[in-house]
Amino acid sequence: QQQVKQSPQSLIVQKGGISIINCAYENTAFDYFPWYQQFPGKGPALLIAIRPDVSEKKEGRFTISFNKSAKQFSLHIMDSQPGDSATYFCAASLSGGYQKVTFGTGTKLQVIP
């Protein structure tokens, strides 16, 4: 049973444009929502994360928007650059303890010049 649904599967954006990736979750007990970035041949690395007590978190060109009532959250990449080309995974978990994380299926982003 997939508990985190991610879309789109792939995304092509022109340099300077806005990339938007969406995720929806089912378990209302989740209280930690990270986004991981993965470059080819590398392991995923934490990009940005949010807790459900805030509706938005911004770090540089990356912003998470969170809608608790809709059980949805999204990643926005402003002024997208070719170096942002990677696979992005959303995830959800219960913080603390052993923290079993449920990942989305990933979005392959390509930013073209």
Partner 1 sequence: NAGVTQTPKFQVLKTGQSMTLQCAQDMNHNSMYWYRQDPGMGLRLIYYSASEGTTDKGEVPNGYNVSRLNKREFSLRLESAAPSQTSVYFCASRAPAYNEQFFGPGTRLTVL
**What are the backbone angles phi and psi of residue 53, rounded to the nearest 5°?**
-85, 0
CB nearer partner 1, residue 106 or residue 111: 106
5 has which bridge partners? 24
Burial class (CB in 10 A: 0-12, 13-18, 19+), 113: exposed
- Residue 41 as a binder of partner 1 (CB under 8 A): the answer is yes
CB 14 to partner 1: min, Å? 25
Q: Which of residues 80-109 bind partner 1 (CB under 8 A)?
A: 89, 93, 95-101, 103-106
The Cα 6–Cα 104 span in angstroms is 5
The pattern of x and - marking residues 42 through 61 that bind partner 1 according to CB under 8 A reads xxxxx--x------------
The Cα–Cα gap between 29 and 10 comes to 29
Interacting residues with partner 1 (CB under 8 A): 6, 9, 32, 34, 41-46, 49, 89, 93, 95-101, 103-106
